[in-house]
Amino acid sequence: MRDLLLGRRPKDFDIGTSAHPYQVKRLFRNCWVIGRRFRLVHVKFGTKIIEVATFRRHVPPGETDADPPPPELPGQSFGSTDAQRESAARDLLIRRDNTFGTPEEDAFRRDFTINALFYDIATFSIIDYVGGLRDLNDRVIRAIGDPTSGSSKIPCAC
């Protein structure tokens, strides 16, 4: 999104969804779930691989960080083979950064405001929860949250 707004050709697109990884896997024939720190889905589209991530949220220290099993899609249920694979995969999963959330929660866990812009393909609109559009226009790189003890604004030669 950021590159398009700057008039540059993007090298790739990050796809985010509220669907859990194994729900995405059930929708596409040519895909696989990867990752131990957090689950991503790689969908093969022709000669390209499209990476799909589920929206995540920040887990404060001390909070339970294990997600419940993903909800099933309407009309779908995991067969025993899929359930066994998912169970085995969950046993190896590092759970700290793998708690699913909303698009807004996902935006607030990103590093910089200009990296937290979303494009909604259903409404053809930009969603900006953290002031990334303003910072992009002002040529400023600003951290989300308070990385030290004050506001962090660094001039950008974007």
Q: Catalytic residue positions?
A: 12, 14, 111
What is the Cα gyration radius of the chain?
18
Q: Give the largest CA-CA distance in the chain.
A: 54
58 near 105, Cβ under 8 Å? yes
Kind of pairing between the strands at 40-45 and 48-54: antiparallel
Task: Using DSSP bridges, classify how beta strands 31-34 and 48-54 pair: parallel, antiparallel or unpaired.
Answer: unpaired
83: region left, alpha or beta (phi > 0 left; psi from -120 to 50 alpha):
alpha
